[in-house]
């Protein structure tokens, strides 16, 4: 997952920032790619796995974009999960 908006911050601070959010959009490698073995990436995976759930996924060329929503959000699933965007029109 990329670190846009987080820069190089300590893992604890990264965790705190993520837990303040209701939704997170993660951009990463397509499925099957090995996980990065750096502390910040491990924290991102742990927070997403423990406190969020995948709500939608797009697979543009060479990437994976996932929308995550907080598990403890009291709203119903339709309100929590945005509708999938339409693919761009082809000329």
> Looking at residues 57-76, what average pLDDT do you find?
80
For 5-14, 41-50, 76-85, which range has the lowest pLDDT when averaged over its residues?
76-85
45 or 4: whose pLDDT is higher? 45
Q: pTM of the full predicted structure?
A: 0.69
> Looking at residues 58-63, what average pLDDT do you find?
84
Q: Which distant-in-sequence residues (6+ apart) come within 8 Å of 73 by Cβ?
A: 22, 80
- Cβ neighbourhood burial of 74 (10 Å; 0-12, 13-18, 19+): exposed
């Amino acid at each position: 997952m990329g670190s846009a908006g987080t820069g190089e911050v300590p893992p604890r601070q990264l965790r705190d920032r993520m837990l303040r959010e209701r939704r997170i959009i993660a951009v990463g490698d397509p499925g099957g790619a090995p996980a990065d073995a750096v502390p910040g990436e491990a924290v991102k995976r742990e927070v997403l796995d423990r406190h969020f759930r995948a709500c939608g996924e797009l697979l543009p060329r060479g990437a994976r974009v996932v929308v995550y929503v907080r598990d403890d959000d009291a709203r119903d699933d339709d309100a929590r999960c945005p509708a999938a965007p339409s693919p761009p029109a082809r000329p």
